[in-house]
Amino acid sequence: MTGDPFLDSLATALGGQAAAALGMTGKAALEKVRELVRRRSEQDPQTQAALEAAEQPESGEEQIAALAERLDRVCTEDAEFAEQLRHEGQAVHNEIVTSDNVVNINHGQATNLVQTREINGGITFN
């Protein structure tokens, strides 16, 4: 990922990985962000490819990271776009980081998989 929690959370949401964690306000903001990124990607095939790859049902961490890195690069190159993205995406980011929801992504097979916020004590798998 980029090291910028804001862009990382937007990429995660755009990729569909955090959509369940969003309320009505966050979902409405996410649609505005998606349209903003799509408009920008009309003139930027690399951003369009990164967005499309992240939106695929089988996308995972690699595609989300690639989208976050692409958004970071575009924001560095285009200050106006960066300002619009931060404005439109603030509600999405806020909902993701302040949510009590846990977003867990698992692709493939897992014999033992635990999703938890906090463990007090140990876990034993038999």
- pLDDT score recorded for residue 95: 81
**Distance between CA atoms of residues 119 and 126, nearest Å:** 18
- What's the whole-number mean pLDDT along residues 1-25? 82
Averaged pLDDT of the chain: 85
Task: Give dist(CA 119, CA 125) in Å, integer.
Answer: 14
Structure tokens at 41: 């990607």
The model's pLDDT over 62-115, given as tens digits with 9 standing for 90+, comes to 999 999 999 999 999 999 999 999 999 998 888 877 765 555 555 567 777 776
pLDDT of residue 68: 95
